[in-house]
Structure 1
Amino acid sequence: MKRKKKLIVNSVLVSALALSVLSPTAFAHDALEHEGINKGESEKFVFSAADLENLAKPKMTGGKNLRFLHEAAGVQIEPKNGRQNNAADVYAHKGFAYLGTHTANGANGGVRIFDLKDPSNPVEVAQFAHEIPHTWQEKVIVKTVNTPDFKGDLAVVSLQQTSRNNANRPDSFGGVLLYDVTDPYNPVRLGFHKLEDRRITGTHELYLTTQGNRALLLTSNPYADYYTGGASRDFEILDVSNPAEPELLWGFDPRDLPEVPQSFNGYHWFAPDGKTRPSFNHSVITDNNGHYAYVSYWDLGTIIFDIRDPENPVYLGRTDYRADQKGSAHSAALARGGNVLIETREVSNPVGAGYESAYGYTRIFDISDKTNPQLLSEFKTDLTFDIPPTSVGRTTFAKTVHDPKVRGNTLYLSYYSGGVISVDITDPANPVEISRYTPESADVWGVYVDRNYVLASDMGQGLKVLLKNNGNGNANGQQPK
């Protein structure tokens, strides 16, 4: 795709997120239950009573000692008000881990901060962003910001309602909370980008970047355009240089893409391959300079924007896929100075007429020409094609890839029951698995690389700290006794 198109979309500040109704024991992954998208396709999964009971029992057994990785610590998040929440995504900044929480036991677990001074003994030191009732706080990004209005470490936290537009929950809103975490032991709330239209569930994933002395917040508000009749947008860019007063700069509607017809209803894309495909903004990242945004737009692939002028971003190109692939662009990461794009595709239900029988796997693209991404390789594991005979209607996420992170020439992937898999991408056209961390009863949601260790968030077991051995183990990857 070589065509460039300038997109200037007028958006309104009222955006709010809408998705599936959740009970304390039933969750849709990322709260996205794609209603009516391919018959039999659903992202909903259920925790049993035993699963919830096991939230309080982190397990330290399993495949912990691997070449380049070994488990240094595993610690469950602390119960609050008599409730044991479960973990969502993980981030790290200046020696502290920030662990989001999912929906178990009524949600409102907030973000938990762990001091990692001793990586073998993480200490939970604070909880924040749990004050908006009936919400869950999956994603947190922390950056050092220096603007005329704020100097310090800024945390942005996604909020999603556990029940969209519920009349019995008038104080529940989605959006983004902004906190000063310069002192991680004492987070201070600065602002709330409230999505006033409660038909939208909230902000699912987000990203924080800087351009000079300006701080920018990029948000993923899935199906915002669908639920509001186009009044709000799935993808928005805000100026948060003054975190107390977020300012909406721009929003995106897929109708502005040359290949998407105006009949797009904000939910289904009637694709050229004849399939009805879900298309919504699930996640967004930028490069280190905040020049380009990479928006994971499910079956529209990863959409690339030039955001150097954030009021007037320029559409550059997007990834594509075969007719028999579910697009399912879930998350992205960059390598090789921003010239290589890692795209993870979350396919939890590997069935459907006209599609390959495969759980989600990773695709790697050359994006040195961002108007024309070129597929270099597809990384699949022995989990990818292990389809049980009763796969029709399957609702587990056990075998699909989830999130990617890159450090140097190593790609780290969270893989639910597969744990964490690391991949050598020195030659991105020929990725090679080099290690796998799979604790007992693994349910690994997020992964993050920080200094000489890798953090993993296990939904049922909390925070895991994995040390990189740098090849000092024996031939089997075991650590010396």
Structure 2
Amino acid sequence: MKKLLLLFAIGANAINLMGQTPCENGMAGNYPCNGYDLLSQLSLNVLAGSNQESGNDSWGWTDPDSGKEYAIVGLTNGTAFIDISDPINPIFLGRVETETFSSVWRDIKVYGNYAFIVADAAGNHGMQVFDLTRLRNVANPPVVFDADARYGGIGSCHNIVINPSEPYAYLVGCDDFSGGAVFVDISDPLNPQGAGGYADSGYTHDAQVVTYDGPDADYTGREIYIGSNGSFGSNNKVVFVDVTNKNNPVLISDIDYDSPGYTHQAWLTEDSNYLLLGDELDEQSFGINTRTIIFDVQDLDNPQVHNEYYGPTEAIDHNGYVLEDKFYLANYTAGLRVVDVSNVASSNNAMEEIGYFDTYPQSNVADFDGAWSVYPYFESGNVVISDISRGFFLVRPSDGTMGVNDMNMGTFSIYPNPATSFAKLVAGKNAQIESVKVYSILGQEIFTQTRINQKEFTLPVTNFSKGVYIVKINEGATKKLVVR
């Protein structure tokens, strides 16, 4: 299980990097861009060992001990792990090979210090589990890692979803529960256990699961499953399910929309007032530009279509994620598109594109190539793009900002998160922590300390109940903290 094998004849010195390339006059080297520089790139030949393989999903992990950042990139033949703590000179550490055979569809999510991996149309693949702390000390990379564990309660699954505040994985589009959600208890990550499932609403292509802290007080603190239930027929819809009790999941509501092609993936805005949905086939089916459907979900029992956003190209939208007031969209042949959603509540001009990095420069047609997924959640502000035919890209806002809050204005990091006994708060560059306040999800202040004036602060959480909290420093920057 712990054995490391050299990856073919590829040594670390054989990795060809693009190097840092600024976005100037609309181009970063060969790539069209607006507001995003290219930091580095690794090809499929490096990551997969062959140009005959292709890329798919991506995610990320930040080591809670060191703060080092790692990119995780899905491939048809496995899952690659990349040390990006030096973003100009990333190190391809190695990969976990597929459990069965190559698959176009591989998906990865992270809970704590473990990566969980599924694949679709891959036979009896199951869910692989990989201990990410093994990336801390890899001798002579790149290597081939064995998975640390495997859940065999399912075979193939299209996707995997994890709520970071609860120890459950939700496997969707599997060969069980009618393609709905398969619940897996990952509280002991190396010994995952089946915990039931939900089949009543049919096949789910992708989903988001959250511990709800939005405006609908009826569901505060409940675990809510938001399923994007794609169909090649007339049954495309988004479903809202209360999955707090795994033995008795309850449908809250569902909603459809005009001119569906294939309901693909949706993500909540940070205040949980709106849901941004991508339909994967509407651009091809109806000859329209990239469309995002905006739902008003302030009443989970009665969600409503609020608006639609159309991008500047006809490219197909794929995976999209929200971070504060920005929507980071993997837009296939149009690459990464960054959209301002701060005005999403408006009835006019609800969203506006503010930047992009196009990993597929030859066209922006409605085709299935280019950027499959993006990961924008690193504290550094660097964004991972996984491209179907060009592998791994790492980009960053051209003006050097975080793209969220300027580090000099009080942005901070929290680790470990989730926490059990303490959480260390670390201020950003040229900043200090002057004060700390902690609030429950109901807005109750449960901790405060002032006159700290230090770079780091250790927050004791042993007396906190398990759950989600909001940590505020310097009366400004806030972050969610999970205590378990």
TM-score tier after normalising by the smaller chain length: 0.5 to 0.7
**Which residue of 2 is the match for residue 234 of structure 1?**
180
Residue 396 of structure 2 corresponds to residue 467 of structure 1: yes
**Which residue of 1 is the match for residue 383 of structure 2?**
454
Tell me, what secondary structure is at the counterpart of 1:183?
helix
**Of residues 364, 376, 392 in structure 1, which corresponds to 2:294?**
364
- Aligned-partner residue type, residue 193 of structure 2: E
Measure, in 2, the Cα distance between the counterparts of 1:241 and 1:446: 27
Measure, in 2, the Cα distance between the counterparts of 1:196 and 1:336: 32
Measure, in 2, the Cα distance between the counterparts of 1:302 and 1:420: 24
Query: Structure 1 residues 457, 134: CA separation in 2 closer, same or farther (over 3 Å shift)?
Result: closer
**Which residue of 2 is the match for residue 184 of structure 1?**
135
Following superposition, the deviation at residue 209 of structure 1 comes to: 2.6
- Aligned-partner residue type, residue 275 of structure 2: L
Identity of aligned residues (%): 20
Query: Structure 1 residues 295, 82: CA separation in 2 closer, same or farther (over 3 Å shift)?
Result: closer
Following superposition, the deviation at residue 349 of structure 1 comes to: 6.5
**Of residues 59, 64, 71 in structure 2, which corresponds to 1:97?**
71
**Of residues 255, 263, 286 in structure 2, which corresponds to 1:319?**
255
Q: Give runs of aligned pairs for residues 76-225 of structure 1, distance below 5 A.
A: 76-77=43-44, 78=46, 84-94=52-62, 95-102=69-76, 109-135=77-103, 138-144=106-112, 153-162=113-122, 172-184=123-135, 189-194=147-152, 202-210=156-164, 215-221=167-173, 224=175
Measure, in 1, the Cα distance between the counterparts of 2:297 and 2:187: 30
- Aligned-partner residue type, residue 252 of structure 1: Y
Tell me, what secondary structure is at the counterpart of 1:358?
coil
Residue 245 of structure 2 corresponds to residue 309 of structure 1: yes
Does the 8 A contact of 1:159 with 1:204 survive in 2? yes
Measure, in 1, the Cα distance between the counterparts of 2:48 and 2:394: 22
Does the 8 A contact of 1:446 with 1:456 survive in 2? yes
Q: Deviations over 1:403-444 (max 9, x none)?
A: 111111011111111111111111113111111221324711
Does the 8 A contact of 2:33 with 2:355 survive in 1? no
Higher RCO, 1 or 2 (CA under 8 Å, sep at least 6)? 1
Following superposition, the deviation at residue 238 of structure 1 comes to: 1.6
- Aligned-partner residue type, residue 168 of structure 2: L
Residue 284 of structure 2 corresponds to residue 350 of structure 1: yes
Following superposition, the deviation at residue 136 of structure 1 comes to: 5.5
Query: Structure 1 residues 219, 359: CA separation in 2 closer, same or farther (over 3 Å shift)?
Result: farther
Measure, in 2, the Cα distance between the counterparts of 1:283 and 1:175: 17
Tell me, what secondary structure is at the counterpart of 2:375?
strand
Tell me, what secondary structure is at the counterpart of 1:338?
coil
Query: Structure 1 residues 83, 320: CA separation in 2 closer, same or farther (over 3 Å shift)?
Result: closer
Does the 8 A contact of 2:289 with 2:312 survive in 1? no
- Aligned-partner residue type, residue 350 of structure 1: Q
Tell me, what secondary structure is at the counterpart of 2:133?
coil
**Of residues 334, 341, 347 in structure 1, which corresponds to 2:275?**
341
Measure, in 2, the Cα distance between the counterparts of 1:470 and 1:312: 49
- Aligned-partner residue type, residue 355 of structure 2: S
Q: Deviations over 1:136-179 (max 9, x none)?
A: 662111121xxxxxxxx1111012335xxxxxxxxx41331122
**Which residue of 2 is the match for residue 4 of structure 1?**
none
Q: Deviations over 1:322-357 (max 9, x none)?
A: 2xx025221111213322211111016633xxxx44
Following superposition, the deviation at residue 459 of structure 1 comes to: 1.0
Measure, in 2, the Cα distance between the counterparts of 1:123 and 1:363: 38
Tell me, what secondary structure is at the counterpart of 1:350?
helix
Unaligned runs of 5+ in 1: 1-55, 103-108, 145-152, 163-171, 226-230, 258-265, 267-279, 385-398, 473-481
Measure, in 2, the Cα distance between the counterparts of 1:308 and 1:415: 33
Does the 8 A contact of 1:174 with 1:195 survive in 2? no
Q: Give runs of aligned pairs for residues 262-277 of structure 1, distance below 5 A.
A: none
Tell me, what secondary structure is at the counterpart of 2:120?
strand
Measure, in 2, the Cα distance between the counterparts of 1:243 and 1:141: 13
Query: Structure 1 residues 232, 375: CA separation in 2 closer, same or farther (over 3 Å shift)?
Result: closer
**Which residue of 1 is the match for residue 264 of structure 2?**
330
Measure, in 1, the Cα distance between the counterparts of 2:184 and 2:338: 34
Does the 8 A contact of 1:203 with 1:220 survive in 2? yes
Measure, in 1, the Cα distance between the counterparts of 2:388 and 2:75: 8
Does the 8 A contact of 1:346 with 1:360 survive in 2? no
Query: Structure 1 residues 97, 252: CA separation in 2 closer, same or farther (over 3 Å shift)?
Result: same
**Which residue of 1 is the match for residue 425 of structure 2?**
none
Query: Structure 1 residues 131, 343: CA separation in 2 closer, same or farther (over 3 Å shift)?
Result: same
Q: Give runs of aligned pairs for residues 45-56 of structure 1, distance below 5 A.
A: none
Following superposition, the deviation at residue 234 of structure 1 comes to: 2.6
Following superposition, the deviation at residue 120 of structure 1 comes to: 1.8
Following superposition, the deviation at residue 84 of structure 1 comes to: 4.6
Tell me, what secondary structure is at the counterpart of 1:85?
coil
**Of residues 239, 243, 251 in structure 1, which corresponds to 2:197?**
251
Following superposition, the deviation at residue 65 of structure 1 comes to: 4.2
Following superposition, the deviation at residue 359 of structure 1 comes to: 5.7
Measure, in 2, the Cα distance between the counterparts of 1:357 and 1:156: 37
Q: Give RMSD over aligned pairs.
A: 2.9
Does the 8 A contact of 2:326 with 2:341 survive in 1? yes
**Which residue of 2 is the match for residue 375 of structure 1?**
305
Does the 8 A contact of 1:346 with 1:359 survive in 2? no
Query: Structure 1 residues 317, 62: CA separation in 2 closer, same or farther (over 3 Å shift)?
Result: farther
Unaligned runs of 5+ in 2: 1-15, 22-27, 63-68, 139-144, 213-221, 363-368, 402-484
Measure, in 2, the Cα distance between the counterparts of 1:79 and 1:431: 35
